[in-house]
Amino acid sequence: MPAGTRISLIALFGISLCLAASAQVSDESQFEALLKQGFELHQQARFAEAIPVLEQAGRLEPNDYFANLLLGIDLLRIGKANEALPRLELAARARPQEETPEDYLGEAHASLGHYAQAAEAYHQALQRSHHSEEALEAWAGFALERFRQIGEGLRASEAGVAAVRRLQQTATKPATALACPDPIAALERRLAAGRAGSNENVETAYKLSVCYAVEAGKAAELLQASSHDEAALHRLRGDVELRLKQDAAAAQLEYRKAIALRPGDPALLARLAEAQSAAGDTEAAKQSAQAALGIDPHRTEALRTLAFVAMNNRDYDQALPWLRQLAAAAPDDRTAQVELGRALAQTGQSADALKYLAPVLAAGYPDEKGALHALEARALRDLGRDDEAAKASAEARRLSDAFQARNKDAGKADANQ
């Protein structure tokens, strides 16, 4: 079931009964009329228009399950995850047996970079639903996306690249052959508290990636055995091919099969765009991503693909609006902040570039070759902050020299073997 429509069948049935019953009553209450109007707008993906209607309904019935659930989903869909959280939490408390609010709480926390809380919410959904198809799909999707994100972060340092190589050797092994001794939420908290790029954090990221690979594999096996949603299965298989196996061609085949069953699904189009980009077909990737955004302008995966293609082509002006939207939607995504800072620096917007580059570099964002510090130094010089620029430039040289020395020593070691 695509994101944005992942309301459980029970919830949909309940809404339908509620609305149908209210329509039969001649003196329909204002709340019921507002809820009906908001739900209709939600079904049409007119989320921004639905929100004020649902907010008005919520003021009349502050604890209503459906009003809070729909409002939380619609706020999430327009990139306001912080505002969505309290609504979804209210819905989750109103019906403790329902999985749907927990699934969306997981999505909201993940979009804000609260990965430990996201994992806990998805697990809560699995428990509430007794491992329903919808909950398994949501959990597997999150696990595979975190696997991708962690791998992307690891590639920023030499030690991380070595960990990625280990992952490629272990991630596709059967789940029984892998050890996952630490709970995922605890590992996420340890990763968030550590220093980016440190050996300890690299090892934590490696363990966490293995855990997510195992969890995704288990969920895929359960769905393969019981799911009746062929489109969802093709999407999951595509995610496994793309995220775990790095087989972009195989992933495209699975996504196309899913799209044939569910045409016009923005999540599937965005996934296809990512696979096309990974395969080097940038023009097709741009077309698929733009098609996804034409249906859902807030589709993060499509924005990320368009920004990646533009940055690779050094088309920084074109990348800027997509990067700004990504950075606003995920304020804790340091990679998005860095990429936006890079694009701003390359387009001469030095002051704005520093707002994004300086905090993440000060927090220890991996810059093994010193390229980001060199960019920071250039922006500081543009602003006449010469003393700070000299310090940043010196740090860039130190990092670059250290990287070259390590490579030279590694080359000698290889030659002596």
- 24 three-class SS: helix
Contact 289, 305 (CB under 8 A): yes
Is 144 inside a domain boundary?
Answer: no
Residue 397, CA distances (Å) to 237, 257, 370, 379 in order: 44, 50, 7, 16
- Residue with the larger pLDDT of the pair 329 and 60: 60
Contact 322, 309 (CB under 8 A): no
How many domains does the chain fold into?
2
**Mean of the per-residue pLDDT values for the chain?**
87
Question: Which range of residues forms the domain containing residue 22?
Answer: 1-106
Q: Last residue of a domain, which of 86, 106, 126? A: 106
pLDDT digits (tens, 9 = 90+) for 366-401: 888 899 999 999 999 999 999 999 999 999 999 999
pLDDT digits (tens, 9 = 90+) for 21-67: 545 444 468 999 999 999 999 998 899 999 999 999 999 999 999 99
Phi and psi dihedrals of 297, rounded to 5? Answer: -65, -10
Q: Last residue of a domain, which of 78, 106, 134? A: 106
Is 89 inside a domain boundary?
Answer: yes
User: Of 75-89, 119-133, 297-311, 359-373, which gets the smallest average pLDDT?
Assistant: 359-373
| CATH code: domain of residue 5 | 1.25.40.10
Contact 247, 215 (CB under 8 A): no
State the average pLDDT over residues 391-414: 81
Is 240 inside a domain boundary?
Answer: no
- What is the number of alpha carbons within 13 Å of residue 365 lying toward its C-beta? 23
Is 382 inside a domain boundary?
Answer: yes
pLDDT digits (tens, 9 = 90+) for 191-215: 988 887 788 888 999 999 999 999 9
Is 163 inside a domain boundary?
Answer: no
- Residue with the larger pLDDT of the pair 109 and 22: 109
Is 245 inside a domain boundary?
Answer: no
What spatial distance separates the first Cα and last Cα of the chain, rounded to whole Å? Answer: 53
Q: What are 362's two structure tokens?
A: 């000060």
Name the pLDDT band for 2 (thresholds 50, 70, 90): very low
Q: What are 257's two structure tokens?
A: 């099969």
Q: What does the pLDDT read at residue 229?
A: 87
**How far is Cα 185 from Cα 188, in angstroms, rounded to an integer?**
5
Q: What are 273's two structure tokens?
A: 């765009």
What is the residue-wise DSSP string for 171-226?
A: TTS-GGGS---S-HHHHHHHHHHS-TT-HHHHHHHHHHHHHHHHHHHHHHHHHHHH
Q: Last residue of a domain, which of 106, 141, 174? A: 106
Does pLDDT of 13 surpass 80?
A: no
Is 303 inside a domain boundary?
Answer: no
Does pLDDT of 3 surpass 50?
A: no
Q: What does the pLDDT read at residue 176?
A: 46
pTM: 0.78
Is 14 inside a domain boundary?
Answer: yes
Residue 383, CA distances (Å) to 166, 349, 351 in order: 43, 10, 7
